[in-house]
């Protein structure tokens, strides 16, 4: 939709057309913890890529935007065009969640309606509730936990109740204290994560949230300032939960880099193991259980894909050029079999450059995954991943179905036997027609061929036509058109369509070499010598024939017009 019309509502079955095919957007039902759930209604039996985003605030339209990318998933609609989905975000959801849907042709929907995540900002695990009593001046809520841990945090927060200021503050022993001060007291504020909630009993509830536990990792490296760390929770079922990704050192001392990441044990799985994956730009090494691991040997290779570019689109029958490179700290540049290309899980070749030809029937439309696997002499492997999109072009005319968007196309590109179709029947293929759905008006005209007779010489004689007194070897057709047309014929294109029943409409020799208009009559000049050679070729002489003439204005669509006419001429062979 454009800015004037706002967000376009979803339509059942997604049969409407327009920009981006007016792709329906997802409907979000749940955003809780790390789980996003909802539904999509669109074209039946089609796979869509859903992408999810978080935002600090919702757009004024209540749809969007996409401030921070979270994750993606693919869903396939059933025969009714419906699909339910559940996606897992790599972090605890916060703020407002939005989503988009992309069809196999690369058409992306508008943003979904915002859905506020259930978890409050910065929250960890809710561990206790304490009701704020009306009578006591002070109420204390002890932490429900095995011992007092240093990563519990509270916030000194002030709120007004019955004209008095109440504050909540930590007492230093792992407890939250709710205090009613004198009426004239002024609260002080400090950081932390206590939250409040009202309910219908008229009392203020105090909710204490457990924060993430700090985890410190120390790494030894020759260049510690270049080291980055991923903290991953490996669960017993094999699921890997990213706690922190690509964090930089908090402190560097000589060859030592120290990292700190926050970890909430309740947000992952029971019985899991924390693994720190450290990288100095060449490789990634899982740490030991002590979370301290050198990051120097061995060096893994690096690689890059320079083609296809990010976001590339190709048509069904288009070749796909692959360009990649690899390098290893010990081996130098890697070439040949060290570079292996894998398309959608299948090896397609080994080289720095490949040109992939489409299979019979063309590439399957939609998103494809390309992997460049770089292997060094020691067998260390690095993989670079790139995705690209194949757009439907069943008729192989160089126009994707997305681009063939005219209304008369019925979503277009469905007839592989009619490559250069002419839907409005105006003689101009769709690929060249600025208005492919609007045929030109057609006029019947009268025509006179001159000279009559047309005198030609015997085969092998040059010139093959008896020239005019001025030496010209042209013939002309005078054409009288309706008044409306004759006022617009300055740029008319005229050609001979048939000569003695011979189709010459595609022969460039029989297009007009000059066009004149005078007193409502148009005159088209043609190459008489070319006509004489055609007569010699087909043995036409001493015979009266009919010449067909057609013309078209330079305008397009409803403003365009064409004409057709015929004229007789006697072909006379002279010595």
Q: What is the 3-state secondary structure of 90-147?
A: CCCCCCEEEEEEECCCCCECCCCECEECCCCCCCCEEEEEEECCCCCCEEEEECCCCC
CATH topology of domain 441-574: Immunoglobulin-like (2.60.40)
Q: Which residue has the tokens 């402190």?
A: 251
Phi then psi for residue 557, to 5 deg, are 60, -140
Mean pLDDT is highest, among 208-212, 293-297, 431-435, for: 431-435
CA angle 220, 222, 228 (to 5 degrees): 60
pLDDT at position 491 over 80: no
In DSSP notation, 37-68 reads EEEEE-STT-EEEEEEEEESS--TTSB---SE
**Segments making up each domain of the chain, as ranges:** 12-116, 125-210, 213-286, 302-391, 441-574
pLDDT at position 144 over 80: no
DSSP state of 348: E
Burial class (CB in 10 A: 0-12, 13-18, 19+), 374: buried
Calpha distance 220→215 (Å, rounded) = 17
Query: Which pLDDT does position 337 carry in this prediction?
Result: 92
Nearest C-alpha neighbor of 449 from the set 549, 562, 551, 553: 549
pLDDT category at 432 given cuts 50, 70, 90 is low
**What percentage of the chain exceeds 90 in pLDDT?**
22
Collect all residues with Cβ–Cβ distance below 8 Å to 156 and sequence separation of at least 6: 167, 168, 169, 170, 187, 188, 189, 190, 192
**Mean pLDDT for the chain overall:** 73
In the predicted model, what is the mean pLDDT of residues 552-564? Answer: 69
3-state secondary structure 160-186: EECCEEEEEEECCCCEEEEECCCCCCC
Phi then psi for residue 319, to 5 deg, are -70, 150
Whether the domain at 12-116 and the domain at 302-391 fall into the same CATH topology: yes
> What confidence tens digit (pLDDT) does each residue in 53-80 have?
988 889 888 898 888 888 899 999 998 8
Whether the CB-CB separation of 413 and 441 falls below 8 Å is answered with: no
pLDDT at position 543 over 50: yes
Cβ of 326: how many Cβ atoms within 10 Å? 24
Residue with the bigger pLDDT between 519 and 172: it is 519
Calpha distance 403→388 (Å, rounded) = 18
The size of the chain, in residues, is 575
**What percentage of the chain exceeds 70 in pLDDT?**
66
Query: Which pLDDT does position 48 carry in this prediction?
Result: 94
pLDDT at position 112 over 90: yes
Burial class (CB in 10 A: 0-12, 13-18, 19+), 108: middle
What global pTM score does this model have?
Answer: 0.30
Cβ of 496: how many Cβ atoms within 10 Å? 27
pLDDT category at 278 given cuts 50, 70, 90 is confident
Query: Which pLDDT does position 5 carry in this prediction?
Result: 58
In the predicted model, what is the mean pLDDT of residues 253-263? Answer: 78
Calpha distance 470→474 (Å, rounded) = 11
pLDDT at position 388 over 80: yes
- Alpha-helical segments (H) within 281-409: none
pLDDT at position 39 over 90: yes
* Count of CA atoms in the C-beta half-sphere (13 A) of 480: 5
Nearest C-alpha neighbor of 405 from the set 110, 111, 105: 105
pLDDT at position 135 over 50: no
Query: Which pLDDT does position 436 carry in this prediction?
Result: 67
pLDDT category at 483 given cuts 50, 70, 90 is low
Calpha distance 87→212 (Å, rounded) = 23
> What confidence tens digit (pLDDT) does each residue in 191-218 have?
233 333 333 333 334 443 444 556 777 7
Mean pLDDT is highest, among 77-86, 117-126, 144-153, 401-410, for: 77-86
Residue with the bigger pLDDT between 542 and 522: it is 542
Query: If you classify domain 12-116 with CATH, what class do you get?
Result: mainly beta
CA dihedral 76, 82, 88, 94 (to 10 degrees): 140
What is the homologous superfamily of the domain 302-391 according to CATH? Immunoglobulins (2.60.40.10)
Radius of gyration of the chain (CA): 39
Calpha distance 185→94 (Å, rounded) = 34
Query: Which pLDDT does position 183 carry in this prediction?
Result: 38
DSSP state of 556: -
Please report, for residues 292, 413, 522, 531, the alpha-carbon distance to residue 476 in angstroms, rounded to integers and kept in the order given.
94, 42, 10, 12
Calpha distance 350→272 (Å, rounded) = 39
pLDDT at position 180 over 90: no
Whether the CB-CB separation of 313 and 388 falls below 8 Å is answered with: yes
In the predicted model, what is the mean pLDDT of residues 28-41? Answer: 89
Query: Which pLDDT does position 143 carry in this prediction?
Result: 29
β-strand partners of 71:
52
Whether the CB-CB separation of 401 and 411 falls below 8 Å is answered with: yes
DSSP state of 267: G
Nearest C-alpha neighbor of 450 from the set 524, 378, 382, 508: 524
Omega of the bond prior to 115 within 30 degrees of 0, cis? no
pLDDT category at 495 given cuts 50, 70, 90 is confident
Query: Which pLDDT does position 106 carry in this prediction?
Result: 85
Query: Which pLDDT does position 355 carry in this prediction?
Result: 92
Query: Which pLDDT does position 545 carry in this prediction?
Result: 92
Mean pLDDT is highest, among 30-34, 137-141, 529-533, for: 529-533
Decide: helix, strand or coil at residue 43: coil
């Amino acid at each position: 939709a454009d800015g004037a019309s706002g967000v376009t509502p979803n339509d059942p079955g997604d049969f409407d057309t327009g920009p981006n095919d007016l792709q329906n957007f997802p409907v979000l039902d749940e955003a809780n913890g790390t789980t996003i759930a909802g539904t999509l209604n669109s074209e039946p039996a089609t796979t869509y890529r859903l992408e999810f985003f978080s935002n600090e605030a919702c757009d004024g339209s209540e749809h969007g935007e996409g401030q921070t990318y979270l994750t993606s998933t693919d869903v396939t609609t059933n025969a009714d065009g419906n699909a339910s989905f559940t996606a897992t975000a790599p972090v605890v959801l916060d703020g407002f969640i939005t989503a988009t849907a992309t069809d196999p042709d690369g058409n992306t929907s508008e943003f979904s309606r915002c859905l506020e995540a259930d978890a409050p900002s910065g929250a960890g695990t809710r561990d206790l509730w304490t009701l704020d009593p009306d009578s006591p001046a002070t109420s204390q809520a002890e932490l429900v936990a095995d011992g007092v841990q240093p990563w519990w945090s509270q916030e000194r927060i002030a709120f007004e109740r019955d004209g008095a200021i109440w504050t909540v503050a930590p007492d230093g022993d792992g407890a939250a204290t709710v205090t009613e001060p004198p009426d004239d007291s002024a609260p002080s504020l400090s950081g932390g994560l206590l939250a409040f909630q009202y309910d219908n009993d008229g009392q203020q509830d105090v909710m204490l949230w457990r924060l993430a536990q700090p985890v410190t990792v120390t790494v030894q490296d020759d260049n510690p300032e270049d080291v980055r760390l991923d903290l991953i929770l490996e669960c017993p079922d094999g699921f890997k939960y990213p706690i922190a990704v690509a964090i930089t050192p908090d402190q560097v001392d000589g060859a030592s880099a120290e990292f700190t990441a926050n970890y909430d044990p309740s947000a992952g799985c029971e019985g899991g193991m924390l693994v720190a994956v450290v990288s100095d730009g060449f490789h990634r090494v899982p740490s030991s259980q002590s979370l301290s691991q050198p990051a120097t040997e061995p060096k893994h290779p690096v690689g890059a894909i320079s083609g296809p570019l990010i976001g590339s689109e190709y048509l069904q029958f288009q070749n796909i050029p692959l360009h990649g490179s690899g390098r290893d700290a010990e081996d130098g540049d890697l070439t040949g079999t060290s570079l292996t290309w894998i398309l959608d899980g299948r090896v397609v070749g080994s080289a720095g450059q490949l040109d992939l030809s489409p299979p019979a029937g063309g590439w399957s439309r939609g998103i494809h995954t390309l992997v460049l696997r770089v292997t060094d002499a020691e067998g260390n492997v690095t993989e670079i991943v790139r995705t690209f999109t194949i757009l439907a072009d069943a008729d192989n005319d160089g126009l994707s179905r997305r681009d063939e968007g005219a209304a008369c196309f019925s979503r277009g590109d469905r007839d592989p036997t009619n490559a250069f179709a002419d839907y409005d029947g105006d003689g101009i293929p769709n690929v060249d027609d600025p208005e492919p759905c609007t045929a030109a008006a057609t006029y019947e005209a009268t025509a006179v061929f001159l000279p009559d007779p047309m005198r030609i010489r015997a085969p092998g004689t040059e010139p093959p036509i008896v020239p005019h007194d001025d030496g010209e070897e042209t013939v002309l057709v005078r054409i009288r058109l309706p008044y409306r047309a004759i006022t617009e014929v300055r740029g008319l294109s005229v050609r001979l369509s048939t000569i003695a029943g011979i189709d010459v409409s595609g022969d460039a020799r029989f297009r007009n070499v000059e066009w004149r208009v005078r007193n409502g009559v148009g005159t088209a000049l043609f190459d008489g010598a070319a006509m004489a050679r055609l007569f010699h070729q087909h043995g036409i002489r001493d015979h009266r024939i009919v010449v067909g003439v057609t013309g078209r204005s330079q305008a397009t669509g409803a403003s365009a017009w064409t004409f057709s006419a015929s004229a007789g001429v006697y072909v006379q062979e002279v010595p």
